[in-house]
A and B are shown apart, each in its own frame.
Chain A
């Protein structure tokens, strides 16, 4: 437990703590840029430099271990000037079109310049040649704004294990991007947007589609409906200064109505639908394997997360048969909105505009996959991220914080608690188990308060098991079978799990994969910056939403019962198969 003094404040910290952490504990704020809690500490940007007595040069506090008896000065002349020079140098190589930048007022570099009182760039000079990469539907990369902090490199390579972007070139010509100056669409990018979520500036952002939504709303020939993903309600409030973890479901609905959507629905409804389909698919696969002894691909994995789908298409194409054929809830919603709902209101699919609000950038990509048009038109037309919705509400001048609560339209607005927890890592698994268990045994899932606690939380790979007892006659083949499940979030963890599957070392029946750390609540389109502490708060909020509902199992949702009765028939039935299931494409891009 080293004790050190920082700006004459004495502080004791655990062994291995950095000077930055020690300063935080001492209540001293050291500015940072490339450092990002839970993501990286590499000492690259040199903004967090402090003067340590006895050291030859200034030291980057984010990587310097706190030592016993250390005397640290964060505001000595040398430290102040070093920090200022570094930020001025960064500004000298930065586009500087702040007012029109996506990150205006939400930019860490801008904030640094402000906080350090920088009024002038002492060493102006040539700026790096900017390159705009608009090759993907999800992300826009502008290297002219890049500060080369490498947060994106770390999340892409380490957290996500994708390896789409790296530092390229040397010296002043260094750029961060795909190999050989390719664009994102040329490489294995899964468009998860974790890079955009951690970017401190406007160098990687989602493709802004707010104007497309306005245009649709302004078009009198269109019926514009909106769905909101489970994770939005636990994060949207952060766009308006509310504490992370504030549930804003009702206010969100009201805001959407005020924006002028013709109907405000909920992706959660489609999540319940997903459970019906996916749960049935899993049981069917188990039956084929155990009863018919047919060769079926097990373990089955979830398919809700489009980044994950692209990831497995790139990296484990031979395991594609293991992926559930269910579309993601977003796409299920789009497909039924333009058929079931359209018929109800007497509209043609092409006159409908389905807008999604997603915590995710990959959803933008997913919506325009060529196979996603089973309604006869593109099932989902426009996808906004949580951040984009926040901006749209802001643009409309809506006082979000003080809005009254609203309620979603019906049908397709009602959802169970099981749908809510789709937002969290482990949530789809838990939701599926709640329904599947009851289908098989007729009794409630034997976990306290229906929570499969072993698969909850931020552990990278989680496992759980339960042995079926008292099975209904038609499921008697499961009697005594121990169902083994695994959950991974963050593609880096998914990779570890899939390597085991590929090696035949995993005897799970069902695996849930979510692309982003923490699940959708930590999605690439969520308000920045998402740290583990914030993930936890959002997760808690989601579980609170679940627990606050009477109806906590998908199959109990009366609107689900209704849609099967009125339109779909039965899970895995003909109509379901047409509208709610899909297929995948092996991709061999290097």
Chain B
């Protein structure tokens, strides 16, 4: 017997083969020969290891070092360094995407560590083309036991006791199916295996057949004995040539060894197996259609009953299970039904293999106990969502399944729970979707798939799904109508009730489940003709624009900047957003998050370009205004001089109104002036844009507070015909812990307002800020500037989850702010009524909460500690006292206490009252407030005149040069320069510095011009 000191296992599953595994194996062979290692090192081509996206992959044993993304040229280094000198090649090891940490050992990689492999037990371990390797790992032992020690009844009973459920989708109890078939009268019976894996993205069955074909063969022989059959068929799709090949090879080997054919293992039992290839019709995964196809007929389902257990293939009793179900069987007999039943949940036993795909860092094949929470699969095994995007939903069960939104990341993935949530286990396709997925578009995709794959036999599936597809498609095209969603629900339910087979009955699921969990997205498509995810082409002029709450024509102004046409660029910007200078400084720039250029290198620095653009403005220009005597006479009041109110005033003024703004503070600007520090938002810049609005005929009266100085009813009595309520969310939320009223405890709004409006605020020496949002960071950096000796931010989750802008957090730290994460205040420690510190608990992240983030929980093992402080600033949220602003008016409010208003026009339940900005939405961004102000202006005009006159909404093009065929510029993203720390920590000078002209123009040229539609394209599209 030859002795080898190392094994190199290279994955030869279809995924790795596609990415070049064969060449890698050849190169390894070559190198081993070259170094004379070919006798000591055994090179094995194995089945799928799982992480297909990073293939070809390999493992070197005995050390268990995992290599990924191998190329033939890496072979020499692995052989000479690792195998010869024992030094693993770290550049080829697994890297954690988020932290870039390198993990050499397979067993320590989360992806593998958290899996439990029963079905995939041999995949990636043995050479699937060698029956002896299977036998060496207990292969065919279960068969021997069954044939020599068990009666057929005991066989089916064992499967029943194991609790195994069909892994093909519906989850019917496998043992029960076996028993039915065993008991069915008839002397000829068939054992069938469904390997017609058709769900987009699913490949577990393929991997089992490629990596461990004997496990299926052994199981089918056991099944044959159990039900009394002597003939079986494996129905494999012809698109799986490697699987067919390996299975055929395995069948031949088994037959040679006497494991198939007559008198198996010397007993009287006869059984043989044949492969039948399907031509890739999705419906042939449906059991009755599959049997028709094996018979050589058109694969179409027939009604049940009779069930296949009674009348199946050629009208004979037939047992059909899928590959994954069979792969469990030998283990159940080897380790016992009780052992198997100990894994999983009460009603769903064993493990399930998932094909993890989509927006997740580690894609591939994973096997976990049934009932593992979805969040664990996605975050612990899958490594989370790439590019720090937010998890939106997971589509489970393929085109017949449904989506699970982030509120349910905690749910155990088992048959019952998924069904309750409107999804199904299906064959185990698990597609992770991030915020960039449009759920309507996703539903359209799956519906299109099933519509195409419908066999066309029954009316609901053939015509019904087509009608659903037409409705969903028109919603995506911006042609949706009120009532479309109701139609989809009604028709979808009808199809579920009336379709002939499982395919039709589940075809509406993606639509129904997205409506159930993401109804709002449908409504936005239909009512606002907007695709929030920026996906639907007809609704998205450019992804950046669709992401901009104010709908600024971004490629327009950016391309004008690239041609140094700054005044025109500004006009384009102010056409939909008056606060160009404000937004150049404080905007969340959701536009950049959606910039398509980020697929190439980095997003275009839209805010940076804007900042340079506004710097070029010498004298402020007024936008296009349309005088209107009738409008000028009508009285419109705007309450709140923040971005929402002022924007509303701006657009009303453009329509010829002369609205009046009432502001409670001494200066207009709302949060922009009261909370956002001057080092981010220079006061003169804000004042300049407010003066522009005043010059347009808007009167602003300050120190006029709603609820104190006047009421809404008084405004009405005073002849105001319409009122826009935009008072923000001016109150800070309470910490709700002991001693919160101690002296020295502030809320951040209070603290920032005091400094920003009065010019001074009391400041402690040891300042502790509680919270992780922008208000917290603003308070902390303001405290630094006001001379605090130490400023500490306490946040209960991790830094990654802090809602504040990343760059703000970084600059805060650069300025000396200490950020402590995973700590939560337990109580304020006070000494004689004065704050002395904050008692904190150490936290850990437990299960997932409804926001899709892990819930911070108090660590049982860590002691609490006291963070010393003489000033505590709480920045844990904002609220609105609706009672004080609305008085007794019967205006509807939302559950979270803010005013209810519609998304299109900001209409409240009172026809003359409109609301927007934080007042309606709760704390949100400046750009959101600007968008809400614009919509309210349109709504008020519509209310007063009965028509919409929003001329600025009409689409226009810019006449800048653009060559769609030219390669995009290869300049990297330009970062904005910052004032050095030492020159900013003691003052409120603006930190960010504008680009120079050459940098700005170069940056602007990076834009890919997604808005560009050439006439030629449209023409050719109509052909």
Contacts of B302 in A (CB 8 A): 42-43
- In the bound complex, what is the Cα–Cα distance between A172 and B460 (angstroms)? 11
A46 touches B451 (CB 8 A): no
Which of B75-83, B494-502, B645-653 forms part of the interface with chain A? B494-502
B444 to chain A, nearest CB (A): 15
Query: In the complex, which residues 87-131 of chain A have their Cβ closer than 8 Å to any Cβ of chain B?
Result: 89-90, 92-93, 122-123, 125-126
B116 to chain A, nearest CB (A): 32
In the assembled complex, A250 has its CB within 8 A of some CB on chain B: no
A81 touches B494 (CB 8 A): yes
Number of interface residues of B (CB under 8 A): 34
Query: In the complex, which residues 282-318 of chain B have their Cβ closer than 8 Å to any Cβ of chain A?
Result: 283, 298, 300, 302-303, 305
**Proximity string of chain A (320-338) to chain B, C-beta cutoff 8 Å, 1 when within and 0 when not:** 0000000000000000000
Query: In the complex, which residues 456-483 of chain A have their Cβ closer than 8 Å to any Cβ of chain B?
Result: none
Contacts of A170 in B (CB 8 A): 281, 283, 452-456
In the assembled complex, B457 has its CB within 8 A of some CB on chain A: yes
In the assembled complex, B601 has its CB within 8 A of some CB on chain A: no
Number of interface residues of A (CB under 8 A): 37
Q: Which of A60, A81, A86, A93 has the most CB of B within 10 A?
A: A86
A89 touches B456 (CB 8 A): no
A57-B505, A123-B467 in contact; A171/B454 too (CB < 8 A)? yes
Contacts of A173 in B (CB 8 A): 456
- In the bound complex, what is the Cα–Cα distance between A148 and B463 (angstroms)? 11
Contacts of A93 in B (CB 8 A): 463, 466
- B454 closest partner in A (C-beta): A171
Contact of B498 among A42, A64, A82, A147 (CB under 8 A): A82
**Proximity string of chain B (433-470) to chain A, C-beta cutoff 8 Å, 1 when within and 0 when not:** 00000000000000000011111111110111111001
A85 touches B451 (CB 8 A): no
Q: Which of A49, A93, A150, A170 has the most CB of B within 10 A?
A: A170
A81-B494, A166-B298, A170-B281 in contact; A86/B459 too (CB < 8 A)? yes
Contacts of A442 in B (CB 8 A): none
B464 touches A85 (CB 8 A): yes
In the assembled complex, B35 has its CB within 8 A of some CB on chain A: no
A58-B498, A167-B456, A172-B454 in contact; A43/B487 too (CB < 8 A)? no
A46-B498, A89-B459, A172-B454 in contact; A167/B298 too (CB < 8 A)? yes
A171 touches B451 (CB 8 A): yes
A46-B458, A46-B498, A172-B466 in contact; A123/B491 too (CB < 8 A)? yes
B339 to chain A, nearest CB (A): 33
A169 touches B456 (CB 8 A): yes
- In the bound complex, what is the Cα–Cα distance between A304 and B612 (angstroms)? 95
In the assembled complex, A410 has its CB within 8 A of some CB on chain B: no
Contact of A125 among B298, B462, B470 (CB under 8 A): B470
Q: SS class of chain B's interface: helix, strand, loop or mixed?
A: helix
In the assembled complex, A174 has its CB within 8 A of some CB on chain B: yes
A85-B460, A89-B459, A126-B470 in contact; A57/B454 too (CB < 8 A)? no
- In the bound complex, what is the Cα–Cα distance between A47 and B458 (angstroms)? 10
In the assembled complex, A407 has its CB within 8 A of some CB on chain B: no
- In the bound complex, what is the Cα–Cα distance between A57 and B470 (angstroms)? 25
Contact of A171 among B466, B496, B497 (CB under 8 A): B466
In the assembled complex, A391 has its CB within 8 A of some CB on chain B: no
Contacts of B494 in A (CB 8 A): 81-82, 85
In the assembled complex, A451 has its CB within 8 A of some CB on chain B: no
B487 touches A122 (CB 8 A): yes
A172 touches B500 (CB 8 A): no
A165 to chain B, nearest CB (A): 12
- A45 closest partner in B (C-beta): B459
B464 touches A171 (CB 8 A): no
- In the bound complex, what is the Cα–Cα distance between A93 and B467 (angstroms)? 10
**Proximity string of chain A (510-546) to chain B, C-beta cutoff 8 Å, 1 when within and 0 when not:** 0000000000000000000000000000000000000
A545 to chain B, nearest CB (A): 43
Query: In the complex, which residues 201-233 of chain A have their Cβ closer than 8 Å to any Cβ of chain B?
Result: none
Contact of B305 among A64, A126, A166 (CB under 8 A): A64
A370 to chain B, nearest CB (A): 36
- A63 closest partner in B (C-beta): B303
Contacts of A572 in B (CB 8 A): none
B899 to chain A, nearest CB (A): 37
Contacts of B300 in A (CB 8 A): 167
Contact of B463 among A43, A65, A122, A172 (CB under 8 A): A172
Q: SS class of chain A's interface: helix, strand, loop or mixed?
A: loop
- In the bound complex, what is the Cα–Cα distance between A45 and B461 (angstroms)? 10
Contacts of B452 in A (CB 8 A): 170-171
In the assembled complex, A319 has its CB within 8 A of some CB on chain B: no
- In the bound complex, what is the Cα–Cα distance between A44 and B456 (angstroms)? 9
- B448 closest partner in A (C-beta): A171
- In the bound complex, what is the Cα–Cα distance between A525 and B333 (angstroms)? 64
- In the bound complex, what is the Cα–Cα distance between A170 and B467 (angstroms)? 15
**Proximity string of chain A (60-88) to chain B, C-beta cutoff 8 Å, 1 when within and 0 when not:** 10011100000000000010011001100
- A49 closest partner in B (C-beta): B498
- In the bound complex, what is the Cα–Cα distance between A46 and B494 (angstroms)? 11
**Proximity string of chain B (250-291) to chain A, C-beta cutoff 8 Å, 1 when within and 0 when not:** 000000000000000000000000000000010100000000
- In the bound complex, what is the Cα–Cα distance between A552 and B466 (angstroms)? 61
Contacts of B455 in A (CB 8 A): 170-171, 174
Contacts of A126 in B (CB 8 A): 466, 470
- In the bound complex, what is the Cα–Cα distance between A57 and B302 (angstroms)? 15
A44 touches B458 (CB 8 A): yes
B298 touches A57 (CB 8 A): no
Contacts of A57 in B (CB 8 A): 496-499, 505
Contacts of A89 in B (CB 8 A): 459-460, 463-464, 467
- In the bound complex, what is the Cα–Cα distance between A150 and B456 (angstroms)? 11
Contact of B303 among A60, A81, A90, A122 (CB under 8 A): A60
A174 to chain B, nearest CB (A): 3
A64 touches B456 (CB 8 A): no
- A124 closest partner in B (C-beta): B467
- In the bound complex, what is the Cα–Cα distance between A90 and B494 (angstroms)? 14
B694 to chain A, nearest CB (A): 54
Contacts of A44 in B (CB 8 A): 457-459, 500
- In the bound complex, what is the Cα–Cα distance between A78 and B467 (angstroms)? 20
Contacts of B458 in A (CB 8 A): 43-46
Contacts of A78 in B (CB 8 A): 497
B497 touches A58 (CB 8 A): yes
- A150 closest partner in B (C-beta): B457
Contacts of A64 in B (CB 8 A): 303, 305
A42-B302, A172-B456 in contact; A92/B498 too (CB < 8 A)? no
**Proximity string of chain A (13-57) to chain B, C-beta cutoff 8 Å, 1 when within and 0 when not:** 000000000000000000000000000001111110100000001
A46 touches B462 (CB 8 A): no
Contact of B497 among A82, A90, A150 (CB under 8 A): A82
- In the bound complex, what is the Cα–Cα distance between A167 and B301 (angstroms)? 13
Contacts of B466 in A (CB 8 A): 93, 125-126, 171-172
- In the bound complex, what is the Cα–Cα distance between A123 and B489 (angstroms)? 12
Query: In the complex, which residues 134-177 of chain A have their Cβ closer than 8 Å to any Cβ of chain B?
Result: 147-148, 150, 166-167, 169-174
- In the bound complex, what is the Cα–Cα distance between A167 and B297 (angstroms)? 11
B986 to chain A, nearest CB (A): 69
- In the bound complex, what is the Cα–Cα distance between A58 and B458 (angstroms)? 13
Closest 3 CB pairs of A and B: A174-B456, A43-B303, A123-B467
15 more contacts with CB within 8 A, not counting A122-B491, A123-B464, are A43-B303, A44-B459, A46-B498, A46-B499, A49-B498, A57-B499, A123-B471, A123-B487, A150-B457, A167-B300, A167-B457, A172-B454, A172-B465, A173-B456, A174-B455
Interface residues of chain A, those whose CB is within 8 Å of chain B, are 42-47, 49, 57-58, 60, 63-65, 78, 81-82, 85-86, 89-90, 92-93, 122-123, 125-126, 147-148, 150, 166-167, 169-174
Q: List 25 A-B contacts (CB under 8 A).
A: A42-B303, A45-B458, A45-B459, A46-B459, A46-B460, A47-B459, A57-B496, A57-B505, A63-B303, A78-B497, A81-B494, A85-B464, A89-B459, A90-B459, A90-B463, A92-B463, A122-B491, A126-B470, A147-B459, A148-B459, A148-B462, A170-B281, A171-B452, A172-B462, A173-B456
